[in-house]
Amino acid sequence: MATPKWADLHLHTRWSDGTLDLAGMVARAKGVGLSAIAITDHDTIGPELTSPVAYHSGIEVICGVEVKADVGGERGEILGYFLSPEHPALGELFRWMAEARRQRMEAMVRLCQEVLGEEITVSEVLAGAAGSVGRPHLAAVLVHRGLARDYEDAFRRFLASGTPCYVPLPRPTSRQVITAIRAAGGVAALAHPCFLSFADWEGALTALAGEGLAGAEVYYPYEASRQTLHADPASVAGIVRKLDLIPTGGSDDHGPGSVKDAIGLVRVPYAPVVEELRASSSVR
């Protein structure tokens, strides 16, 4: 009998808000017994990913992304897998998101200056971002300046929704994101769905499937998350399977020293999940 193979299809590196490069993430994946991983940085694809799928130190590495989107009126995120990283549709989407992120960071830095009375600069925040800039980079500045004890404290007091320095990020629609992912030869899935608060889950997922969505995260460390659950994971998983969507999943790990050091908490069965994702993409 063949030994089962496992995957983690939701990982972040230093090219968005993770702490490791690709080599570091591959080493961690090997350490917890994974056979395949997907790098899904926020609104960008790092230069280490040059093809839809590659092999590094025996680990299958899938080129992915996680894009913030308006999902049926909710602030959600769409995952893409097996992407051609240089496709123009992705480039256009990423340029739009990069500008939105820059403008949002400028607004958050201004609020931090007002609230904390410190001359924090946008360039100081950008200096810590290898690629896509986000709140963790601002949190790192606050910690470095002694204005917060750690990342968690920075988010809890200043950077989370409802706190004095928070500014929401403009988002494209789910249809726009899914269209770009599919144009790049990839397959789209809804990230951590149980953080969303749809009144009619079957209707919402059916509508997303009509836009081209192929999967949704069923395997996710909800029990380890600090975010509020708005739906029962088992119930949503049942609807995902009823609609014949691919049940994807991953740890949402951001690396050691981050607010989400979680690799190994989720093990997604390679067969059939990764096989079905590959079959739904343009990779053969």
Q: pLDDT of 70-88, one tens digit each?
A: 999 999 999 999 999 999 9
Q: Are 5 and 33 in contact (CB under 8 A)?
A: no
Question: pTM value?
Answer: 0.86
In Å, the largest CA–CA distance within the chain is 64
Least confident of 13-17, 70-74, 108-112, 154-158: 13-17
- List the structure tokens of 67: 């894009």
Q: Quote the CA–CA distance of 219 and 274 in Å, as a whole number.
A: 13
Peptide bond just before 272 cis, omega within 30 deg: yes
Q: Each residue of 212-267: pLDDT tens digit?
A: 999 999 999 998 887 889 999 999 999 999 999 999 999 999 999 887 889 999 99
Go through the domains of the chain in sequence order and give each one's CATH number: 6-87+171-280 (3.20.20.140), 93-159 (1.10.150.650)
